[in-house]
Amino acid sequence: MFSNLDLAVAFIYVCLGLIGFGVLILLTMKARSIMLERKRSALLEKHQPYFVYLQRHIVDPDPFQPPKGPLSPLETRVIQDKLMEWIEKFRGAQRQKLTALCEDMDLVQLDRKQLSSMFYAKQMKAAYRLGGMRSAQAVEPLIELMKQEKDGPLLHVLARSVAKCAEHLDQLYVMLQQLTRHRKGNYLNAAEVLEETSLDVTPLLLQCMEDRDHNLVKTALLALRGQTGVTLTPALLRLADSDDKEIRSLAVKMLVRAGNILPEETICSWLTDPEGEIRAAVAESLGQFGYEGSIPALKQALTDSDWWVRYHSAKSLAMMGDAGFRTLCEAALERDDPFKSDMAKDRIHEELLREHFFANRRKQISGAHTKQSLYEQYFGQASSVPNIRGIGGDYSA
């Protein structure tokens, strides 16, 4: 092996060369980034009066005037970054006014050209910026590129940008199709991306719920969160019988939460679903809707074998006013199932603690019982005393 000595010496030289080269690159990079940072802050300061002008007149009816005079590329970028920052912060007319300024300054045009660049990095940058400016002019090229692109970070950036820029729902639909085309399980991301749009997406989601693609259905269901409306009920009821566990759970959640008055047997049948996840979802949503008719079913669910179902049932019961809390107290006193009474006791404890803390801050509905007084009806006065054991002294920071 020592015959390779020459090779070894050569290797030493290569190493030395590479090391020198690396150090050189390191130094130049450091110097460049420091220079750039300095220039940037100088430019920011130079244009500060212009930025003040933009902020001061953001609600005035007339469009903004672009900055005068020739701008260096770096200057343009600095202003663009600032504009994009504001576009993210504002809504409605103010946002549009800033977008219009970006269009007037030809920034959109510039990045549209970059979008067809050969370099992945430049494409990505352009896609990101086009989204940041939210200009409707950018939607078509973005969608075109999405259709060609393989799965990867660029695709996600493109999707987000399309969501930000889109003017019509069908553009969003194409975007969703492209995004979920490559991989199952992209729905979480898709739903989150949909949040970026400034359009009302409900009709689109209804359309997606009819879709055969499970991914789109899941996306739609996830994105529906927070929207309630009885118009969705028929579509949701159909999905509640789906074979896909996740779809079923999401649909059921939506149904319960949307405030549909559902027949008791339907709720009971969901609460006996073989999937614990779904039972838990039902139990959780019942509390958010707060329909008192479901109290018996929830009490039954306190004996469920799944911890999560018991947990959410107790939580939901606590959210259902006096009747719910009474039921919790009863459950805590019953001795047939230790799991049930333990869970109920935990919840009662937590609720009392919370009430103790926030009672004086919340506006009390007159006539309503406090949970404390209800608790005392069941457990007697004495037992309530040791329950809230304050630790720590006066805290008036």
Partner 1 sequence: MYYVIIVNTIYFGIMLFSLKSVFSIVRRKRYALSGSLVGSEHVPPVSLLVPSYNEELTIIENVRSLMTLNYPTYEVIVINDGSTDETMKVLIDEFELFHMDNLAVRYSVNCTKIKAIYHNPEYPHLYVIDKLNGGKADSLNAGINFSHYPLISSIDADSLLEKDSLIQMANMYMSNPEEYVAIGGNVRIANGCTIENGTVKEVRLPKKWWPMFQTCEYLKAFLGGRIGWSAINGLIIVSGAFGLFRKDYIIKVGGYRGGYPGEDMNIIIKLHRYMLENKLPYRIAFCPEAVCWTQAPDTYHILSNQRKRWGRGNLKNMIENYDMTFRPKYKVFGMLSLPYTIIFEALNPYFKITGLLSLIGYALYDMTSWNIVGVFLTINFLSGLLLAIGSLLIEEIAFKRYPRVSDMFRMLAFSVLMFFGYRQLGSLWRIQGHIQYFQKNNSWGAMTRQSWKEKSEQVKSA
Partner 2 sequence: MLHTAEQQSEFVPSFKQTVHHLCSNDPEHQLGIIFIHAGSMGRAWEGEISNWLKAERTISFELMIEDSHHLIAIMLRRAALDETHYYALQLKMLLEQKFAGQPIVCAIAAVADAAEIEELIEGRLAELTVGGAYSDIRVLHDELRPMDARRILVVDHDESVREFLNIWLTMKGYEVYEAEDAYSALDRIHSEPFDLILTELNLYGINGLPFISHIQKMNLNPAPKIVILSEQRVEQTIDYCYQQGVNDYITKPFSPVELDERLSRCF
CB of residue 49 vs partner 1: minimum separation in angstroms? Answer: 26
326 binds, among partner 2, partner 1, none (CB under 5 to 8 A by kind): none
Tell me whether residue 249 is exposed, middle or buried, using C-beta atoms within 10 angstroms of its C-beta: 0 to 12, 13 to 18, 19 or more.
buried
Length of the chain: 397
Contacts of 19 (CB under 8 A, 6+ apart): none
354 vs 369 by CB, closer to partner 1: 354
CB of residue 79 vs partner 2: minimum separation in angstroms? Answer: 13
CB of residue 59 vs partner 1: minimum separation in angstroms? Answer: 23
d(CA 367, CA 365) in angstroms, rounded, equals 6
Residues 298-317, mask of contacts with partner 1 (x by CB under 8 A): ---------x--xx------
DSSP assignment of 352-375 equals HHHHHHHTTTSPPPTTPPPHHHHH
Which string of b and e fits 48-72 if b means at least 16 CB within 10 Å? eebeeebeeeeeeeeebebbeeebe
- Single residue of 46, 168, 183, 238 touching partner 1 by CB under 8 A: 183
Decide: is 30 part of the binding site for partner 1 (CB under 8 A).
Answer: yes
Q: Are 311 and 343 in contact (CB under 8 A)?
A: yes
CB of residue 355 vs partner 1: minimum separation in angstroms? Answer: 9
Q: Are 345 and 332 in contact (CB under 8 A)?
A: yes
21 vs 72 by CB, closer to partner 1: 21
Residues 316-355, mask of contacts with partner 1 (x by CB under 8 A): -----------------------x--xx-xx--xx--xx-
Q: Are 329 and 378 in contact (CB under 8 A)?
A: yes
Q: If we measure between CA atoms, which residue out of 297, 341, 334 comes closest to residue 316?
A: 297
Site of interaction with partner 1 (CB under 8 A): 1-2, 5, 8-9, 11-12, 15-16, 18-19, 22-23, 25-27, 29-31, 33-34, 88, 121, 124-125, 127-128, 153, 156-157, 160, 183-186, 188-189, 191-192, 195-196, 222, 225-226, 307, 310-311, 339, 342-343, 345-346, 349-350, 353-354, 357-358, 388-392, 395
